[in-house]
Structure 1
Amino acid sequence: MNGPDILNEIWDIIEERACNPSESSYTSKILTHRKGIDKALEKVGEECTEFIIAIKNGDKTRISEEAADVIYHMMLALKGADVPVSSVWDELVSRRN
């Protein structure tokens, strides 16, 4: 599975969890947290900080792990803001020109 495919699959799971929350799902817990979108935004900030530290420490494994966490939590924040991830892909495409 390539990058775009996994990102779209993750988005589909986020959408499914938003429509059908599950108590055992981390995704559902973030999306339905009492803090609302602030919880997803807190996680974005936390994961960005951990990503920066991993890069500063030169830990290649942690860099990849933290980058994945940043991307995932940004996708949760997008869902919380009711912005489809496809709009981000479209924006990236528009910047290629």
Structure 2
Amino acid sequence: MPAGMSNPDDPTTLLSRLEATIAARRVGDPDASYVARLNAKGRGKMAQKVGEEATEVVIAALTGSPEALVGEAADLLFHLLVLMGDCGVSLAQVTAELERREGTSGIAEKASRSS
């Protein structure tokens, strides 16, 4: 692939496109856009949806098929991006934090946050 071009199969490319779509639809017509409808209902509703989807991920992981987990994980990622956008947090910020943590033991990283 030529330098400077993103790989369309890269999951971060897809999530970045989804983030941009969510941002564009946030100000749309709530009767025509689910994102606009969530935006109109406010951050509390967005956070509630993230919680619901997280619970559905757990249930699918414990009782469902891999396909069920895939669907619920997609729903969770979508709703998390909606909430993050409303809070002014970008996917790039989260990615940067993950990169900062890369190569650090999860146990050590968690311990560093509790001190």
User: TM above 0.5, one fold?
Assistant: yes
The aligned residue for residue 28 of structure 1 is 36
**Could you report, residue by residue, the CA deviation over 1:39-69 in whole angstroms, capped at 9, with x for unpaired residues?**
1101001001111110111411010000111
Distance 1:83 1:6 in 2: 17
Q: Matched residues, percent identical? A: 29
**Could you report, residue by residue, the CA deviation over 1:58-94 in whole angstroms, capped at 9, with x for unpaired residues?**
4110100001111111111111112122111111111
The aligned residue for residue 15 of structure 2 is 7
The aligned residue for residue 45 of structure 2 is 39
Q: Structure 1: give runs of 5+ residues left out of the alignment.
A: none
Distance 2:10 2:99 in 1: 17
Amino acid at match of 1:9: R
What TM-score do you get using the length of structure 1 for normalisation? Answer: 0.89
Aligned residue among 62, 68, 72 for 2:68:
62
Moved over 2 A (4+): none
Distance 2:33 2:87 in 1: 20
What TM-score do you get using the length of structure 2 for normalisation? Answer: 0.76
Q: Structure 2: give runs of 5+ residues left out of the alignment.
A: 1-8, 104-115
Distance 1:62 1:2 in 2: 22
Q: Greater CA radius of gyration, 1 or 2?
A: 2
Amino acid at match of 1:2: D
Residues paired across the two proteins, number? 94
